[in-house]
Amino acid sequence: MTTALEELAIRLRDFAAARDWEQFHTPKNLAMALAGETGELLAELQWLTPEESAQVMRDPETAGRVRSELADVALYLIRLADVLGVDLLQAACAKLDENERRYDAETYRGSARKAPPLP
């Protein structure tokens, strides 16, 4: 049974193949594209206070741009993982398991200082 994520990876594969774009989709290039889209996402939030950023989806126009940037980041991340042969969900689950062990709730409660990598 194919997950929705796998279906999207396959659609991206076909999308690239139909345009003869596999030649551009090296991990190096896709990582740069991922970072470029992440930069556009940052640009949407850079001048907002953290509180304003929490309300950013209330304005339909901004919400549309934020959703669109999140989508671009997701598409490049899914494509990059597919090109690298990495099962993204499996890798993410494994990392979260690791983080749950690494940052036990008692020690790290309420502190980001002590947990720079993943609060």
The CB-of-76 to a copy of itself minimum distance in angstroms stands at 8
60 vs 117 by CB, closer to a copy of itself: 117
d(CA 64, CA 70): 10
Are 12 and 58 in contact by the 8 Å Cβ rule? The answer is: no
Which amino acid is located at 53 in the chain? S
Tokens of 107: 């020690």
Q: Does 10 bind a copy of itself (CB under 8 A)?
A: no
The residue written with tokens 């990582």 in the block is 31
Task: Please report how the helices 27-45 and 60-84 are oriented relative to each other, as an axis angle in degrees rounded to 10.
Answer: 160
Distance CA 54, CA 41 (A): 14
Residue type, 65: R
57 binds a copy of itself (CB under 8 A): yes
Minimum CB separation of residue 37 from a copy of itself in Å reads: 7
Window 35 to 54, contacts with a copy of itself (CB under 8 A):
35-43, 45-51, 53-54
Please, which residue, 60 or 78, has the CB nearer to a copy of itself? Answer: 78
Residues 71-90, interacting with a copy of itself (CB under 8 A): 71-78, 80-81, 83-86, 88-89
Among positions 31, 60, 101, 102, the unique one binding a copy of itself when judged by CB under 8 A: 31
